[in-house]
Each structure stands twice: as structure tokens, then as C-alpha cells.
């Protein structure tokens, strides 16, 4: 599985890591693009399920092994990462969202309003290419 790779962690502390709930039964490779899901009662959990516009959580900062007993995972929320684009050509500065397993696409106004914004493309994006993205899930 192709995952995001770190170019540079930014913010203070570096990468602005956050801890999120996750299910013990789920395997999450380091570098996976994660979304927020309100699947539990009165809780928010992270998931690599990217069906529909879901709020972006960030990028898995560590590997989560299925059945390891862990129900928390560290997530980077700010930095520069190489991420694979969908089959869409994009321009530098374009706001992107998660669109499929570890893929990004241009964010629509609905994506942005729903919190699905992952960040901004830092260079021209070719179809199905790997490009630098400034990830900023909880900033401007």
C-alpha cells in the first residue's frame, strides 16, 4: 500500500501530533491518510475508510497492528508530505481532500465546509503522481 511520506514536520511541537481513538481490530500502516468517524457512541475514532467526504484527521504517525490491544494512535496534523494524487491534474496551492485509500483530490466547497480539507498542494499535480502537500488539518 502506498502511504504518505514525510518531507518535513512543521508546527510546535513538530507535526502537531494528536492522539485519536481507533479500533483494536484495525491495522493501520504508518503514513496512512486518516479520517474522523463518529462510529462509536459519543466518541470520535479515526479510520482509513475514505468513502464520502469525511473530516480529515491527519496522517498515521505510527503503525497500528490489528489485535494488538491498542485503542489509540498518534496522528500528525501538520507538515509537508509526499502524497499520491488521483487521476486528476491539479494546480499548486489547490486545497485537497482525502479521496480514496491514501489518495488526494481537489476539495470541493462541500469538502471544505465538512472539514474534509487535508491541506494544500505545493507543486503542480499530475494525474496519479506523488506530490508535496502542506498538511494542516486544524489550521488555516
pLDDT in tens, 109-138: 988 888 889 999 999 988 889 999 999 987
Over residues 68-119, the pLDDT tens digits come to 999 999 999 999 999 998 888 899 999 999 888 888 999 999 888 888 899 9
132 burial class (0-12, 13-18, 19+ CB within 10 angstroms)?
middle
| Contact (Cβ atoms closer than 8 angstroms) between residue 103 and residue 36 | no
Enter the C-alpha cell of residue 17. 501530533
| Contact (Cβ atoms closer than 8 angstroms) between residue 99 and residue 33 | no
3-state secondary structure of 107: coil
| Contact (Cβ atoms closer than 8 angstroms) between residue 115 and residue 134 | no
Amino acid at each position: 500500500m502506498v502511504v504518505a511520506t514525510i518531507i518535513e514536520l512543521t508546527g510546535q511541537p513538530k507535526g502537531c501530533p494528536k492522539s485519536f481513538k481507533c479500533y483494536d481490530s484495525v491495522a493501520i500502516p504508518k503514513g496512512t491518510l486518516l479520517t474522523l468517524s463518529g462510529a462509536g457512541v459519543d466518541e470520535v475514532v479515526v479510520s482509513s475508510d475514505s468513502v464520502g467526504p469525511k473530516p480529515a484527521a491527519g496522517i498515521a504517525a505510527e503503525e497500528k497492528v490489528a489485535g494488538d490491544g491498542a485503542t489509540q494512535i498518534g496522528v500528525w496534523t501538520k507538515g509537508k508530505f509526499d502524497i499520491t494524487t488521483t487521476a486528476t491534474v491539479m494546480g499548486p496551492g489547490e486545497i485537497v481532500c482525502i479521496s480514496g485509500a491514501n489518495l488526494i483530490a481537489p476539495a470541493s466547497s462541500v469538502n471544505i465546509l465538512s472539514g474534509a480539507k487535508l491541506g494544500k498542494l505545493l507543486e503542480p499535480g499530475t494525474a496519479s503522481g506523488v506530490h508535496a502537500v502542506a498538511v494542516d488539518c486544524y489550521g488555516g
